[in-house]
């Protein structure tokens, strides 16, 4: 930009016009519809027993048991969950479980974010900590979740403080936070280290303290790194919650529901798909909520354009 006319540009970064928003929505719907169409076309065209090459099934069976019609899945959502009188519709049962899991994932995400941001700050402030801690942080993510989930649960069940019993869902949240903290810690550290040299030298010439430099330069500069990290953290928290629910035997969430409804699939194939949709919706809502944080902090993303 060499002309002063450039300054006449008043647009906010990433501000989208109404037309672009509509187009994005249309593309989203088109994506869902094309998956459904693909599903039905395959079901109609492919052989009943799937495609088997050299004894290995490379494409799935197309029976109603393995691949129920999409409209049956949707219709099943509106029917009662069980044949018992007064049973809630399936979508409601799934939504309740998904919301519960969302709450647990949110707690896990929050704990993970606090821990991750804290670790990032600590590592930026003390290089010794970065050298000593960073390898362990990376290593922590190689431990399979299902290996320590029962351990966390059994520790949790022994915690009792002044009559307050550690609830089982908190164990699930702790396990979710174990996955969520990682991208946040790495993103935070990277972001805090990202300011231009000129900015840091300027702060030095102002005789600014480390704290003032952190507040004025490092934290704002970290935002563009932190936002995708928070989003990754949210996705990790959701996955962590679902897996932890299964491996700790927590019964009320979407994770357990996935297993138990899959068990009923032989008699009620469409039902097994409902919690899968629930889990997908859960992930989307979680990502969307984190996206709102990005919207609130959009001023700090100007650095991405400059």
Instruction: Pick the piece of the chain touching other proteins (CB under 8 A) from 54-62, 93-101, 178-186, 196-204.
Output: 196-204
Instruction: Pick the piece of the chain touching other proteins (CB under 8 A) from 106-114, 134-142, 191-199, 244-252.
Output: 191-199
Instruction: Pick the piece of the chain touching other proteins (CB under 8 A) from 52-60, 173-181, 288-296, 298-306.
Output: 298-306
Closer residue to other proteins (CB): 122 or 200: 200
Q: Which positions from 77 through 96 interact with other proteins, judged by CB under 8 A? A: none
Q: Rule CB under 8 A: is residue 202 a binding residue for other proteins?
A: yes
Q: Rule CB under 8 A: is residue 7 a binding residue for other proteins?
A: yes
Size of site (CB under 8 A) for other proteins: 32
Q: Which positions from 218 through 247 interact with other proteins, judged by CB under 8 A? A: 220, 223
Instruction: Pick the piece of the chain touching other proteins (CB under 8 A) from 77-85, 183-191, 206-214, 258-266.
Output: 206-214
- What is the distance between the alpha carbons of residues 213 and 200, in angstroms, rounded to a whole number? 8
Q: Rule CB under 8 A: is residue 15 a binding residue for other proteins?
A: no
Q: Are the C-beta atoms of residues 234 and 109 closer than 8 Å to each other?
A: yes
Mapped onto helix, strand or coil, the DSSP state of residue 212 is helix
Closer residue to other proteins (CB): 53 or 207: 207
Q: Rule CB under 8 A: is residue 34 a binding residue for other proteins?
A: no
| Residue in 70, 216, 276, 285 binding other proteins, rule: CB under 8 A | 216
Q: Rule CB under 8 A: is residue 300 a binding residue for other proteins?
A: yes
Closer residue to other proteins (CB): 94 or 223: 223
In 3-state terms the chain splits into helix, strand, coil percentages (rounded to 5) of 75, 5, 20
- List, in sequence order, the alpha helices (H) in 3-62: 18-45
Q: Note every long-range contact of 208-215, with CB atoms under 8 Å and residues 24 or more positions apart, other chains counting.
A: 210/125, 214/121
- What is the distance between the alpha carbons of residues 298 and 10, in angstroms, rounded to a whole number? 15
Closer residue to other proteins (CB): 60 or 228: 228
Nearest to 294 by CA among 217, 238, 231, 233: 231
| Residue in 10, 56, 83, 127 binding other proteins, rule: CB under 8 A | 10
Q: Rule CB under 8 A: is residue 193 a binding residue for other proteins?
A: no
Q: Which positions from 37 through 66 interact with other proteins, judged by CB under 8 A? A: none
Rg (CA), the chain: 24
Nearest to 257 by CA among 111, 108, 88, 65: 88
Tell me how long the chain is: 306
- What is the distance between the alpha carbons of residues 240 and 234, in angstroms, rounded to a whole number? 10
Each residue 273-292 as x (binds other proteins by CB under 8 A) or -, in order, gives --------------------
Q: Are the C-beta atoms of residues 55 and 256 closer than 8 Å to each other?
A: no
Handedness of CA 155, 158, 162, 164 (dihedral sign): positive
Q: Rule CB under 8 A: is residue 131 a binding residue for other proteins?
A: no
- The C-alpha angle 14, 18, 24, rounded to 5 degrees, equals 75
Q: Backbone dihedral region of 86: left (phi > 0), alpha (psi from -120 to 50 degrees) or beta?
A: left
Q: Rule CB under 8 A: is residue 299 a binding residue for other proteins?
A: yes
Positions touching other proteins (CB under 8 A) are 1-4, 6-7, 9-10, 13, 196, 198-199, 201-208, 212, 216-217, 220, 223, 299-303, 305-306
């Amino acid at each position: 930009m060499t002309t002063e006319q450039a300054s006449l540009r008043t647009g906010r970064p990433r501000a989208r016009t109404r037309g672009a928003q509509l187009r994005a929505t249309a593309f989203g719907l088109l994506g869902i519809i094309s998956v459904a169409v693909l599903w039905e076309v395959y079901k109609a065209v492919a052989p009943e027993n799937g495609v088997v090459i050299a004894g290995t099934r490379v494409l799935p069976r197309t029976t109603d048991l393995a691949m129920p019609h999409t409209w049956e899945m949707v219709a099943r959502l509106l029917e009662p969950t069980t044949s018992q009188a007064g049973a809630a519709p399936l979508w409601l049962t799934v939504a309740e479980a998904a919301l519960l899991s969302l709450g647990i994932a949110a707690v896990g995400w929050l704990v993970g974010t606090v821990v991750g941001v804290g670790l990032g700050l600590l590592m930026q402030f003390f290089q010794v900590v970065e050298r000593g801690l960073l390898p362990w942080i990376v290593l922590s993510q190689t431990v399979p979740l299902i290996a320590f989930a029962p351990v966390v649960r059994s520790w949790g069940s022994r915690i009792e403080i002044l009559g307050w019993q550690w609830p089982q869902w908190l164990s699930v949240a702790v396990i979710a936070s174990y996955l969520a903290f990682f991208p946040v810690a790495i993103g935070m550290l990277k972001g805090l280290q990202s300011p231009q040299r000129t900015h840091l030298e300027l702060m030095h010439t102002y005789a600014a303290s480390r704290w003032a430099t952190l507040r004025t330069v490092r934290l704002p500069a970290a935002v563009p790194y932190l936002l995708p990290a928070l989003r990754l953290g949210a996705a990790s928290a959701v996955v962590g919650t679902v897996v932890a629910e299964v491996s700790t035997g927590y019964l009320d969430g979407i994770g357990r529901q996935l297993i138990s409804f899959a068990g009923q699939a032989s008699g009620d194939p469409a039902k097994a798909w409902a919690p899968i949709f629930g889990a997908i919706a859960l992930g989307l809502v979680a990502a969307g909520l984190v996206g709102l944080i990005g919207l609130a902090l959009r001023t700090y993303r100007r650095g991405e354009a400059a």
